Structure 1
Amino acid sequence: MDLKREVPGNCPICKSETKVTEIYCKNCDTTIRGEFELCKFCRLNEEQKYFIEVFIKNRGNIKEIEKELGISYPTVRNKLDEVISSLGYKLEKPAINQKEILEKLSKGEISKDEAMKLLNK
């Protein structure tokens, strides 16, 4: 069985960003040495990669993501914020849209507790 191993984007010891220093082609026996940057997505942990896969598969439809992962709206938002941060982007706290939160509550899309959490941010 051929196990697929990915290059860790962060050091398992100190959590700093890693660099690739050698690439090898087993077909032509070529080795390239240097310092290579990893893509931004290599910085994501397995859980974050899975979340992004589900997010893309569901075309960003939060209701479908909630259903597939069995998590609440605020949890989907928190996971998305974690991914955004891990990719190196700064998160600005969005202004609370009370009307949107109350509409979601009235439609049963979020619970009373979830609405309270969102309104108290």
Structure 2
Amino acid sequence: MKKIPIDCPCCEAKLTVSKLVCDACETEVVGKFSLPLLMQLTVEEQEFVMNFLKHSGSLKEMASQMGKSYPTVRNILDDLIYKLKSIASTTT
């Protein structure tokens, strides 16, 4: 499955959604919508968040599953938290 691009391929500015379509009845909603916070993450970061939730927030279990040390996984989470806070502060 293709990932929705979040940055402009020409100037690297953030992209916005301009059209939503219902597959069932083909209703179209047109406007300017920002991407949801989690969609602004890379695929790898999204997968990390999903694994974090699947493991009920257990970094120990995630470290074991990822074959990494606990401090490494903790650092990945800390970096992700910082990124999410940065994105959130620019969209409010």
The question of a shared fold, defined as TM-score above 0.5 by the shorter chain, is answered with: yes
Q: Does 1:40 align with 2:37?
A: yes
Residue 85 of structure 1 aligns to which amino acid in structure 2? Answer: Y
Partners in 2 of 1:57 and 1:72 — Cα distance? 19
Identical aligned pairs, as a percentage? 36
> Alignment partner of 1:21: what SS?
strand
Out of 45, 48, 52, which is 1:51 matched to?
48
Partners in 2 of 1:15 and 1:85 — Cα distance? 21
Q: Does 1:16 align with 2:26?
A: no
- 1:87 to partner: Cα distance: 1.5
Aligned CA distance change for structure 1 residues 78 and 5 (closer, same or farther; 3 Å): same
Q: Which residue of 1 aligns with 2:68?
A: 71
Q: Does 1:80 align with 2:77?
A: yes
Out of 12, 27, 30, which is 1:30 matched to?
27
Partners in 1 of 2:53 and 2:45 — Cα distance? 12
Q: Structure 1 stretches of 5 or more lacking a match?
A: 91-121
Aligned length: 87
Structure whose residues are more often helix by fraction: 2
Task: Determine which structure has more spread, i.e. the larger CA radius of gyration.
Answer: 1
Instruction: Map Cα deviations across residues 9-42 of structure 1 (whole Å, 9 max, x no partner).
Output: 3345554322101112232222221101211101
Partners in 2 of 1:20 and 1:55 — Cα distance? 27
Partners in 2 of 1:24 and 1:81 — Cα distance? 36
Q: Structure 2 stretches of 5 or more lacking a match?
A: 88-92
Residue 43 of structure 2 aligns to which amino acid in structure 1? Answer: E
Aligned CA distance change for structure 1 residues 78 and 12 (closer, same or farther; 3 Å): farther
Q: Which residue of 2 aligns with 1:7?
A: 4
TM-score, length basis structure 1: 0.60
Report if the CA contact (8 A) 1:17-1:43 is conserved.
Answer: no
